[in-house]
Amino acid sequence: MNSITITPVSSVKGEIHIPGDKSISHRSIMLGAIANGITTVKGFLRGEDNLSTMKAFRSMGVRIDDDGETLAIHGKGLHGLTESSDVIDCGNSGTTIRLLSGLLAGQSFFSVVTGDQYLRKRPMKRVVEPLVRMGARIMGRNVGNLAPLAISGGALNAIGFESPVSSAQVKSAIMLAGLYADGETSVREPSLSRDHSERMFRLFGATVETFSSGVTVRGGVELQAQDITVPGDISSAAFFIVAALITPASELLIRNVGVNPTRTGVIDILISMGGSIELLDQRQVSGEPVADILVRSSQLKGIEISGAVVPRAIDEFPAICVAAACAEGITTIRDARELRVKETDRITAMANNLHRLGVMVEECEDGMTITGVEQLGGGEVESCGDHRIAMSMSVAALIATESITINDIECVATSFPTFYPLLEQVSGR
């Protein structure tokens, strides 16, 4: 297990490009694979999670060429995937296993999907239950709630599903199954989660209707290959946004970041905390809003975070917790129970780690209360095998009084393999 020790820096400066968006990269392969024609993808994120998706589709007979810059996905049409000869290993990727389960529910062959020790602990019932209602046969450990999952797909019925959680993975799994269902499948969620599937389905020619907190997909409509450019991932940019905000004398320009409004909760939250963040040159790329983001160091203040902004910032809470630890006053986070079922329990992981640096954190079932400190202390913290915990604690280390050692950092490669070289570049080591 690798660890890294990071010493404090005096500023964060420069101009950087962030690697491609993880969610959009997954979806580009999935839709490209079942479209007619060759889909090209530029800016694809070559993190381990997305490589798991690529491998899964190759194992189902999809040719994917990669010249190091552009992917060419040779689509097989809606009904052209073939049975994998082995178990499909989704690694650490919740998006791979859940979206794939939806897609496999509509295939007339047998599949087994599984993942690493962390993924095998995460709840799958949230997708299994609606997919079974659509007519798929799915078995798994813990009465169908835990991977490995065995999926026998086939003809599906359209359903109207009210998801109890705001989850783009649940919504997208049902949308993918909906492509194979007889009629119109709809999903409603408590408040809107990221809508990359809705946008990309439309781009590929699917019949999709969106309403305030839901979507309807028509089954049986063939998809057409597209040329896609993936913007930089705002979830990866978030670590650098927080780094520049909390480190004195900093100014950082982050180029080409996806600013889809269902993902910009982190920007709204940090601006409410007093952060100086500007979106420059806003534009549209492959149906997604994109901008350059200019960040300057700022004195942050504690705020209350709850409600509809939570799903719009769901992956950024580890970074937001670090901002809160450096802010003046108290930050409360509520309605964020979903953080307990991410790659690790992110509420407990962040509370324990910040505690070790001298920050007072109180956990509650659906969130936490963080009292900001003037200076973070040094020490040793744990990633808990979670990429975002590792990266947020690495950012905290930039302004601690002494060095911080972050243990078990291999997981960073799941979403951001170039994180440490970029951090080194902007902090002028």
Query: Which residue numbers belong to the known binding site for 3-phosphoshikimate?
Result: 22-23, 27, 167, 169, 315, 342
Rounded Cα–Cα distance for residues 12 and 427 (Å): 5
- Of 195 and 382, nearer to ligand S3P (C-beta) is 195
CB of 195 to ligand S3P, least distance (A): 10
Length reported for the chain: 429
CB of 314 to ligand S3P, least distance (A): 5
Q: Binding ligand S3P by CB under 6 A: which of 314, 347, 393, 396?
A: 314
Report whether 381 contacts 406 (CB < 8 A).
yes
Catalytic residue flag (residue 116): no
Give φ, ψ of 353 to 5 degrees: -65, -45
Return the closest-CA partner of residue 203 out of 20, 45, 27: 27
Rounded Cα–Cα distance for residues 162 and 296 (Å): 42
Query: How far does Cα 249 stand from its chain's mean position?
Result: 30
Interacting span for ligand S3P (CB under 6 A) from 145-153, 166-174, 242-250, 325-333: 166-174
Q: Which residues are annotated as a binding site for phosphoenolpyruvate?
A: 22, 94, 122, 169, 346, 388
Q: Per the structure block, which two tokens stand in for 68?
A: 């190091």
Q: Is 169 in the site for ligand S3P (CB under 6 A)?
A: yes
- Of 314 and 359, nearer to ligand S3P (C-beta) is 314
Q: Is 163 in the site for ligand S3P (CB under 6 A)?
A: no
Q: How far is CA 34 from CA 78, 226, 355, in A?
A: 5, 12, 47
CB of 92 to ligand S3P, least distance (A): 11
CB of 194 to ligand S3P, least distance (A): 6
Rounded Cα–Cα distance for residues 137 and 69 (Å): 39
Q: Binding ligand S3P by CB under 6 A: which of 23, 286, 298, 383?
A: 23
Q: Binding ligand S3P by CB under 6 A: which of 167, 260, 286, 394?
A: 167
Rg (CA), the chain: 21
Interacting span for ligand S3P (CB under 6 A) from 28-36, 164-172, 365-373, 379-387: 164-172
Return the closest-CA partner of residue 118 out of 388, 392, 427: 388
Q: Is 264 in the site for ligand S3P (CB under 6 A)?
A: no
Binding mask 321-360 toward ligand S3P (x if CB under 6 A, else -) reads -----------------x----------------------
CB of 167 to ligand S3P, least distance (A): 3
CB of 282 to ligand S3P, least distance (A): 22
Rounded Cα–Cα distance for residues 372 and 390 (Å): 20
Interacting span for ligand S3P (CB under 6 A) from 3-11, 168-176, 211-219, 395-403: 168-176
Concatenate the DSSP letters of all residues of 86-142 into one string.
S-EE-TT-HHHHHHHHHHHHTSSSEEEEE--TTGGGS--HHHHHHHHHTT-EEEEHH
The DSSP call for residue 315 is: G
What's the angle, vertex CA 393, arms to CA 387 and CA 394, rounded to 5?
Answer: 90
Q: Binding ligand S3P by CB under 6 A: which of 163, 172, 286, 392?
A: 172
Rounded Cα–Cα distance for residues 14 and 364 (Å): 38
Q: Which of 315, 335, 366, 408 is catalytic?
A: 315
Q: Binding ligand S3P by CB under 6 A: which of 59, 95, 353, 392?
A: 95
Which are the catalytic amino acids? 315
Binding site for ligand S3P (CB under 6 A): 23, 26, 94-95, 167-169, 172, 193-194, 314-315, 338
